[in-house]
Amino acid sequence: MKPRLAPAATVTGRVGENVPRPDGVLKVQGGFPYSSDLQVDRMLWGATVRSPHPYARILSIDTSEALAAPGVRAVLTHEDVPGKRVYGLEIPDQPVLAFDVVRYWGEAVALVAADHPELARRAAQKVHVQYQVLAPLTDPEQALLADAPRLHPDGNVTRHVKIRHGNQDARAEVVVTGEYEVGMQDQAPLGPESGLAVPDEEGGVDLFIATQWLHVDREQLAGVLGLPPDRVRLTMAGIGGAFGAREDLSMQAHACMLALRSGRPVKISYSRPESFVGHVHRHPGRLRYEHGANRDGKLVYVRARIVLDGGAYASSSTAVIANASCFAVGPYRCPNATIDGWVVYTNNPPCGAMRGFGSVQNCYAHEAQMDKLAEALGMDPVELRTRNALETGSQMITGQVIDGPVPVAELLRRIKERPLPAASDPGSLDLTTQPGGVSNTTHGESVRRGVGYAVGFKNVGYSEGFNDYSTARVKLSVVGGRPRVEVHTAAAEVGQGLVTVQAQIAGTELGVTDVVVLNADTRVGSSGSSSASRQTYITGGAVKAACDAVRRRVLALAELELGRKTGKTDGLRLERDSVVSADGREIVSLTTLLGDEVIEETHEFRPRQTTRLDPETGQANAHVQYAFAAHRAVVDVDTELGLVKVVELATAQDVGKAINPQAVEGQLEGGAAQGLGLAVMEEIQLKDGVIRNASFTDYLLPTILDMPPLRMDVLELGDPHSPYGLKGVGEPPTISSGPAIVAAIRAATGRPITRVPVRPHDIVET
């Protein structure tokens, strides 16, 4: 029994060409089957009973009334978990269903499956849980104190990263200090968590799911369900964005458990408010910095203490704090550094992966510090950055020497030299150009312009010794009289454009017009996660490697054929659906050459190996590749009302090689918008561990009227280590866009602004 999924489309295009998404038209017309649309006969609907307390002891759970409710087919608690009761990406600390205690508001406690979603929701209200409410620990600084209640057996510190680089007692002529705070951002993917679990006859299960990494879901599910991995089969369903929110399990195990118990297909689809507690968020952070520099503006040292609030469970916190620490000083040469990065457990909602992954929080701090330092030195802020910019061969504070292009100074030069937009017209009654927009708050009164700059960087791919790899299967055969390539991987298309990338690579390597990218599933080996800006690099690399192997076999076949006939086989290539000679003449069409032959190859691709951070010094070759972007923001601020209009953003980013330029532009646009969101409006507001704005009514995302034009400079400098020289593209736009906007707000208002998102009352003293 299979639900309708998006059809596998034929894609034509070469590396470097603009290739439209095959699902674009369907999505715009409303015909794309998202995971929330999944449907099969006899399907039940699951609902989740959630904790109304951020911290409480579970005294009892009474399911009898819910079980007796109309249409109910199953009600489950932690006692019904068939296998492991806890799971987690790095540390298995999160209960599938809470037992003994609940550690955050909205934690899953019980499950209901019923004939109709409404019946399931009503029955969920009839599960009676008795709690003994405990005082929640919601301040990460308090969580660090020795006498704080321990939320987990090993204490509240999920990880402490220490970086000790150079002279720990360095002194400098000019010193600036600052404290910064970053609020909790939500990934807010438009598609809520949803999926459909279909039990088979033999006690196994098929899960149709919108996720970022099918195989890591499967590994965790097999453990939870107590099944061998091959009895748990996952198929990618239509996804509505991810941004890190789908790295952890949400409803996967729940739907499978209900399906296995009821013997019926079970679908779970979260509502928006439920989605806010159904996935991890970006870590809020408090960052304390001290920068020391020479009078000529050379950085002497940076000392930083970074505390991230990991919330109730570990998720990917340990990797996020590693990034926050490794990139703490920004893309600058800094001979001496003392960094302490902490991530701690609290009773706030769990935090984990989100686009930028630890590099976003610290960028707000190091860029504010660079501006402060420039001011203390009386130096232009871009000049100061340029003077300290990392270059090829520079050493990171982790001791790693960065190879390949490191165009930090060049990126800064490009955004700086771009002409500024025209001054705002104070008399303009086109309200969309004014801070406050159509709400008619100013006709130019108190509007000041500001310009700000920021640059950031982060790692591409998995770090710290992780065995990063991807698997691709490529099949070449003749279908309907034409050669056709099928690419099959388990890599998740999350909206970033991976389907076209895979097709373009196969089309380029095999010279074939028709490329079909099969829907991702677990019938092929792991591709790793669609995160860390890594898929084009790693899965792209795997597709290329598999294509290389296919091509070798095709050419061997051709040589065999031709060698027999002509003896001339030098420099044969695949192009235009044919084997062509070195000078491009068609020798034989693939259709003729292959006949009934099917050539299939499966290959794994691995980037270079990394190593773990030394626990005492944080020194290591911890990262595969570094990606850089810079932004300039121009803002108009109504200084009396504290309202901000971002007038223009300009960016320069080195993408190594733009495989699909229009998709690259999409990433630069979307990433900048997400950065803008955190800078000026997006925040999950918490009070005593409870989310106060768990809906799009009050969790504000930027609209088209908030996002300004983005001027882009896409550099293709070519990394010698990666396929086609490409660099990961997805995350850098989210890192420096927000800090540039905040710098511009500071420039416009003269106010220090040390917290994001910037609220009107932070600009206006009241």
Which window, 319-327, 489-497, 538-546, 687-695, contacts another protein (CB under 8 A)?
687-695
Quote the CA–CA distance of 239 and 600 in Å, as a whole number.
Answer: 28
Looking at beta carbons only, is 222 or 680 nearer to another protein?
680
Looking at beta carbons only, is 329 or 644 nearer to another protein?
644
- Written as one letter, the residue type at 237 is A
Q: Out of 84, 160, 576, 759, point to the residue binding another protein (CB under 8 A).
A: 759
Q: Out of 130, 698, 721, 750, point to the residue binding another protein (CB under 8 A).
A: 698
Q: Is 442 in the site for another protein (CB under 8 A)?
A: yes
Q: Is 702 in the site for another protein (CB under 8 A)?
A: yes
Q: Is 421 in the site for another protein (CB under 8 A)?
A: no
Looking at beta carbons only, is 271 or 569 nearer to another protein?
271
Q: How many CA atoms lie within 13 A of 716 on its CB side?
A: 11
Q: Is 609 in the site for another protein (CB under 8 A)?
A: no
Which window, 61-69, 271-279, 382-390, 536-544, contacts another protein (CB under 8 A)?
271-279
Looking at beta carbons only, is 395 or 441 nearer to another protein?
441
Quote the CA–CA distance of 127 and 52 in Å, as a whole number.
Answer: 13
For residues 689 and 138, the answer to whether their CB atoms sit within 8 Å is: yes
Three-class DSSP category at 107: coil
Looking at beta carbons only, is 634 or 643 nearer to another protein?
643
Q: How far is the CB of 674 from another protein (least distance, A)?
A: 15
Looking at beta carbons only, is 319 or 753 nearer to another protein?
753
Looking at beta carbons only, is 26 or 764 nearer to another protein?
764
Q: Out of 294, 428, 592, 685, point to the residue binding another protein (CB under 8 A).
A: 685
Strand (E) positions, 410-532? 447-460, 470-479, 482-488, 514-517
Which window, 15-23, 30-38, 267-275, 325-333, contacts another protein (CB under 8 A)?
267-275
Looking at beta carbons only, is 543 or 643 nearer to another protein?
643
Q: With CA atoms as reference, report the closest residue to 216 among 7, 465, 468.
A: 468
Q: Out of 12, 271, 477, 602, point to the residue binding another protein (CB under 8 A).
A: 271
The position carrying tokens 């999944």 is 38
Looking at beta carbons only, is 471 or 737 nearer to another protein?
737
225, 239, 375, 568 from 577: Cα distances, Å: 47, 33, 61, 20
Looking at beta carbons only, is 585 or 687 nearer to another protein?
687
Q: Which of left, alpha, beta for 550 (phi over 0: left; psi -120 to 50: alpha)?
A: alpha
- Written as one letter, the residue type at 599 is I
Q: How many CA atoms lie within 13 A of 32 on its CB side?
A: 19
- Written as one letter, the residue type at 639 is T
Q: Is 443 in the site for another protein (CB under 8 A)?
A: yes
Q: Out of 141, 296, 445, 586, point to the residue binding another protein (CB under 8 A).
A: 445
Quote the CA–CA distance of 706 and 714 in Å, as a whole number.
Answer: 23
Q: How far is the CB of 626 from another protein (least distance, A)?
A: 34
Quote the CA–CA distance of 557 and 180 in Å, as a whole number.
Answer: 63
Q: How far is the CB of 129 from another protein (least distance, A)?
A: 18
Interacting residues with another protein between 106 and 145 (CB under 8 A): 118, 121
Looking at beta carbons only, is 438 or 582 nearer to another protein?
438
Q: Out of 166, 437, 465, 725, point to the residue binding another protein (CB under 8 A).
A: 437
Q: Is 703 in the site for another protein (CB under 8 A)?
A: yes
Q: Is 149 in the site for another protein (CB under 8 A)?
A: no
Contacts of residue 342, Cβ cutoff 8 Å, sequence gap at least 6: 140, 144, 157, 159, 160, 161, 305, 306, 307, 308, 321
Write the interaction track for another protein spanning residues 550-569; mark x where CB under 8 A is met and - where it is not: --------------------
**Tokens matching residue 187:** 């990934």
Looking at beta carbons only, is 268 or 515 nearer to another protein?
268
Q: How far is the CB of 434 from another protein (least distance, A)?
A: 9
Q: Out of 705, 709, 750, 752, point to the residue binding another protein (CB under 8 A).
A: 705
For residues 633 and 743, the answer to whether their CB atoms sit within 8 Å is: yes
Q: How far is the CB of 645 from another protein (least distance, A)?
A: 6
The position carrying tokens 């679908």 is 267
Interacting residues with another protein between 383 and 402 (CB under 8 A): none
Which window, 279-287, 564-572, 677-685, 725-733, contacts another protein (CB under 8 A)?
677-685
Q: Is 16 in the site for another protein (CB under 8 A)?
A: no
219, 296, 417, 747 from 174: Cα distances, Å: 52, 10, 28, 22
The number of beta carbons lying within 10 Å of the beta carbon of residue 199 is 20
Quote the CA–CA distance of 338 and 360 in Å, as a whole number.
Answer: 19
10, 449, 651, 652, 656 from 417: Cα distances, Å: 42, 18, 11, 11, 22
Q: Out of 612, 692, 721, 752, point to the residue binding another protein (CB under 8 A).
A: 692
Quote the CA–CA distance of 293 and 278 in Å, as a whole number.
Answer: 45
Q: Where are the alpha helices (DSSP H) in 651-706?
A: 661-680
Q: How far is the CB of 439 from another protein (least distance, A)?
A: 4
Q: Which of left, alpha, beta for 131 (phi over 0: left; psi -120 to 50: alpha)?
A: beta
Q: Out of 441, 477, 569, 619, point to the residue binding another protein (CB under 8 A).
A: 441
Looking at beta carbons only, is 2 or 692 nearer to another protein?
692
Q: Is 432 in the site for another protein (CB under 8 A)?
A: yes
Q: Is 695 in the site for another protein (CB under 8 A)?
A: yes
Q: Is 349 in the site for another protein (CB under 8 A)?
A: no
Parallel, antiparallel or unpaired: strands 285-293 and 174-182: antiparallel
Q: Is 681 in the site for another protein (CB under 8 A)?
A: yes
Q: How far is the CB of 688 from another protein (least distance, A)?
A: 14
Q: Out of 178, 435, 528, 739, point to the residue binding another protein (CB under 8 A).
A: 435
Q: Is 181 in the site for another protein (CB under 8 A)?
A: no
Quote the CA–CA distance of 366 and 329 in Å, as a whole number.
Answer: 6
Quote the CA–CA distance of 643 and 505 in Å, as a whole number.
Answer: 46
Which residues is 485 bridged to in the sheet? 476, 515
Q: Out of 18, 167, 294, 440, point to the residue binding another protein (CB under 8 A).
A: 440
Q: How far is the CB of 437 from another protein (least distance, A)?
A: 3
Q: How many residues does the chain have?
A: 766
Q: Count of residues binding another protein (CB under 8 A)?
A: 39
Quote the CA–CA distance of 270 and 252 in Å, as a whole number.
Answer: 12
Which window, 226-234, 265-273, 321-329, 620-628, contacts another protein (CB under 8 A)?
265-273
The number of beta carbons lying within 10 Å of the beta carbon of residue 755 is 17
Q: Is 761 in the site for another protein (CB under 8 A)?
A: yes
Q: With CA atoms as reference, report the closest residue to 545 among 504, 505, 496.
A: 505
Q: With CA atoms as reference, report the closest residue to 284 among 358, 189, 179, 347.
A: 358
For residues 18 and 88, the answer to whether their CB atoms sit within 8 Å is: no
Q: How far is the CB of 692 from another protein (least distance, A)?
A: 5
Looking at beta carbons only, is 654 or 683 nearer to another protein?
683
Q: Is 641 in the site for another protein (CB under 8 A)?
A: yes
For residues 264 and 198, the answer to whether their CB atoms sit within 8 Å is: no
**Tokens matching residue 409:** 């100074």
Q: Is 697 in the site for another protein (CB under 8 A)?
A: yes
The number of beta carbons lying within 10 Å of the beta carbon of residue 733 is 29
Residues that bind another protein (CB under 8 A): 118, 121, 271-273, 432, 435-443, 445, 640-643, 645, 680-681, 685, 692-693, 695, 697-698, 700, 702-703, 705-706, 759-761, 764, 766
